[in-house]
Amino acid sequence: FVAGTTLDQAVEAVRTLNATGAMATLDVLGESVEDRAAADRAAAAYVEAIERIAAEGMDANVSIKLTQMGLDLGVEECLSVLAPVAAAGATHGVFIRIDMESSDYTDRTLEVVDRLRADGFDVGPVIQAYLHRSPADVEQLAAERVRTRICKGAYAEPPEVAHQDREAIGDAFVSLSERLMEADAYPAIATHDPEMIGRVSASALERGIGPERFEFQLLYGVRRDLQRRLLADGYRMRVYVPYGTEWYPYFMRRLAERPANAL
């Protein structure tokens, strides 16, 4: 589930993926930070990753969690920490995905995305399909053709905030994906669920939306058989490649999410 503890190991993993036709997104592992110095260190690691992507001509971008960039210290502080990362992305033409965390952070995360985009930076958020608010958020993102990742959502949220029923979450996931495809916003469809992949693929086909107008995203090391099949079927597919010394919490979340993945 983790490419390694160093950027060099992650680069090797991306090279291997690129050789198969897969794209990648690099994620420097780390949890919420409580001081500016730790946030700046995380930002420096992302600048280094972006520079390596450009120097080696890899087909990759980066994914960033804002709590690692000091969001708990305030939106202004977070934007200040992100400034060199956004600048590196702009200099090297590397897209920056802003990951979504629990619903407590949704408004602040979307505010950071809006402000970076207003300054001309190529960034896009993640929307969690199980949140009741997501259709309204996606409507706004679709209107502006913002490059958005759709995922089901993995945080424990109460019924008044998020759907609890698997079928309702699946329907929301497909509906939000369709809206972004129709808007030609190049959405990222992030799921390992073959049923969801099948429904989104069929919907795109019915609407005459070609495979170049969206991409599937899967986690490193998870359902490699499905990753190979998507590539063989001619779809664009990007693998989320996490690395770093703080790998243990991420690893345990993946196991807790679906123990069968370990097998």
248 C-beta neighbours (distance < 10 Å), count: 11
Whether 170 contacts 147, CB under 8 Å: no
Tell me the one-letter amino acid at 22.
Answer: A
Tell me the one-letter amino acid at 193.
Answer: D
Torsion (CA) 247, 240, 26, 123 in degrees, nearest 10: -130
Active site residues: 99, 149
Angle at 56 between CA 53 and CA 62, to 5 degrees: 10
Two tokens, residue 82: 């992100």
Residues shown for the chain? 263
Please give the helix or strand (H or E) that residue 188 lies within, else none. strand 188-190
Question: Is residue 70 classed exposed, middle or buried when 0-12, 13-18 and 19+ CB atoms within 10 A define those classes?
Answer: buried
Two tokens, residue 97: 């995905």
Could you tell me how far CA 76 lies from the centroid of its own chain?
A: 23
